[in-house]
């Protein structure tokens, strides 16, 4: 997906502050952080959203969530709490159509979300 922003970050065509990488996953700091910790976690294989995920994505979706847990623990967020967000489609505000989890923490958050 040449035109996909996050695929271009995976391909190192666009710089990002990478905090974790393996053969299947990439995690990097959000360019417009909404909390002291704001990390995006993406699969290296492109698919658009949770609604665009078929059942074969079960493994990578689980890996992304557990990596969010690990990155949260490394930053001490397991002690204070944190939020993992998966925006899906127009009403959610999804802007980048390469699936990504947001890991947000380091401040008190409100509920319901805006």
Active-site residues: which are they?
100
Q: Please identify, among the stretches 18-26, 53-61, 74-82, 91-99, the one whose residues bind ligand 5GP according to the rule CB under 6 A.
A: 91-99
Cα–Cα distances in Å, from 12 out to 36, 47, 66, 69, 90?
Answer: 25, 18, 24, 25, 28
Q: If DSSP codes are grouped into helix, strand and coil, which group holds residue 60?
A: helix
Spatial distance between the Cα atoms of 34 and 82, rounded to a whole number of angstroms:
12
Residue 101, H or E segment? strand 101-105
Q: Between 6 and 82, name the residue whose CB sits nearer to Zn ion.
A: 6
> Which of residues 67, 75, 98, 100 is near Zn ion by CB under 5 A?
98
Q: Between 76 and 93, name the residue whose CB sits nearer to ligand 5GP.
A: 93
Within residues 10-29, the interface with ligand 5GP by CB under 6 A covers: 14, 16, 28-29
> Which of residues 7, 18, 30, 63 is near ligand 5GP by CB under 6 A?
30
User: 42 near 10, Cβ under 8 Å?
Assistant: yes
The 93-112 contact track toward ligand 5GP, x by CB under 6 A, reads xxxx----------------
Q: DSSP assignment, residue 89? A: S
Which residues in this chain contact ligand 5GP in the complex, by CB under 6 A? 5, 14, 16, 28-32, 40, 87, 93-96
């Amino acid at each position: 997906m040449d035109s996909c922003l996050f695929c271009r970050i995976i391909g190192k065509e666009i710089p990002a502050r990478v905090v974790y990488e393996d053969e299947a996953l990439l995690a990097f700091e959000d360019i417009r952080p909404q909390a002291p910790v704001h990390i995006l976690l993406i699969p290296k294989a492109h698919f658009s959203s949770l609604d665009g995920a078929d059942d074969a994505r079960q493994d990578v979706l689980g890996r992304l969530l557990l990596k969010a847990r690990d990155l949260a623990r490394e930053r001490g967020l397991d002690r204070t709490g944190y939020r993992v967000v998966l925006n899906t489609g127009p009403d959610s505000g999804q802007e980048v159509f390469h699936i990504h989890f947001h890991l947000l923490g380091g401040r008190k958050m409100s509920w319901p979300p805006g």
